Amino acid sequence: MWPTGRLQPQADRRSVLRRLDPWLENATRKRGLAVGFAALAAAAVMGVSEAAFWGADQALQQSQARHLARNDSLRLRELLTNAETAQRGFLLTGRDDYLAPVQQAEKDLPDVLTRLRGQYESSEWEALVADASRRANEKLSELKLVIQLYRQGNSPAWQGLVESDIGREKMQAVRDAVAQLDRHELVQIAAERDAVFRSLTFGRIGVHGLTLLSLVGLVVFLRRNEALHEARRGHARELAQERDRLDREVARRTAELTELARHLQTVREDERAHLA
């Protein structure tokens, strides 16, 4: 009887632990999953943000390149227009200070044409740019030739060149080419602007969606965490109750043993008295 009674509290305690341990283990595993989910959500937010950034950056770089190409084409037209106007002023007045735009065009035109050819190389506009470059060089050469003939006093020659409309045709061809390139670049710039907007919108929606998802995950995690704490508190209460029960059991067993010891002592004393 005594060994059975002594083992019973320990068996009850193990039974309580067996009931609680699977739940606690499951809660711990779910907490690990929640932490993993939070890390995955953070990585997803960073991934979406980086994808949106690189998409927008690429579109902006392309847009910047197109702005530069458009500026070069407009610069080409500006240089030739100013040079043509300067030539006319020189022919009317004979003053060399009118020729500054011609000298500026002679200086800047090669670089402008080189950049334009590089920008449109291997594209459908390559032939148009090559033709515009050729006509621009011919126009500048025609302007310089007229000025040279004027300085030489060869009036019939330079007047014949001016009245032949050859220079006007070349200038008009350059203007038409620049107008086509300008329209093309404006369309492409608008497309790149839309690409930037789409990339930023994608990033915004992605970040907002993942943030909301993370908040939902946080709420679930907090609820699970609260449930885990409640289970721990319940576990602590059960352990306290088990400890109190064991204390009572020990006290009862101790009292029984004490009573038994007294009984045995009384029996021995009675036997001694009887023998005496």
pLDDT in tens, 197-244: 887 787 778 777 878 877 887 787 788 778 778 888 888 888 888 888
pLDDT at 104 over 90: yes
Share of the chain above pLDDT 90, in %: 22
Task: List Cβ neighbours of 55 (8 Å cut-off, separation of 6 or more).
Answer: 195, 198, 199, 202, 203
Among the listed ranges 32-36, 170-174, 233-237, 267-271, which one has the minimum average pLDDT value? 32-36
The reply to whether 178 falls in a domain is yes
The answer on pLDDT for 4 being more than 90 is no
pLDDT of residue 121: 86
Q: What's the pLDDT at 59?
A: 72
pLDDT tens across 187-197, in order? 888 888 888 78
CA 100 to CA 260: how far, in whole Å? Answer: 129
CA nearest to 118, candidates 78, 75, 69, 79: 69
Compute the 3-state secondary structure of the chain and give helix, strand, coil in percent, each to the nearest 5: 95, 0, 5
Q: What is the mean pLDDT of the chain?
A: 81
Cβ 140 vs Cβ 106: under 8 Å: yes
Q: Is residue 152 part of a domain?
A: yes
Is 36 domain-assigned?
yes
Q: Which of 115, 101, 86, 137 is nearest to 181 (CA)?
A: 115
Residue 62: inside a domain, yes or no?
yes
pLDDT at 270 over 70: yes
pLDDT value at residue 6: 45
- Residue 109 is classified by DSSP as H
Range of the structural domain that residue 83 is part of: 2-236
Query: With 70 as the cut, is the pLDDT of residue 54 above it?
Result: yes
Q: For residue 90, is it within any domain?
A: yes
pLDDT band for 10, please (50, 70, 90 cuts).
Answer: low
Q: Is residue 20 part of a domain?
A: yes
Q: What is the pTM of this model?
A: 0.58
| 244 lies in some domain | no
* Number of domains the chain contains: 1
Which CA distances in Å does 129 have to 112, 123, 167, 173, 254?
11, 10, 18, 11, 109
From CA 59, how far away is CA 203, in angstroms rounded? 14
261 assigned to some structural domain? no
Please say if the pLDDT value at position 20 is more than 60. Answer: no
Q: What is the pLDDT of residue 29?
A: 60
Report the pLDDT value the prediction gives residue 14, as an integer from 0 to 100: 53
* DSSP letter assigned to residue 165: -
Which pLDDT band holds residue 21 (cuts at 50, 70, 90)? Answer: low
* Residue 191: CB atoms within 10 Å: 14
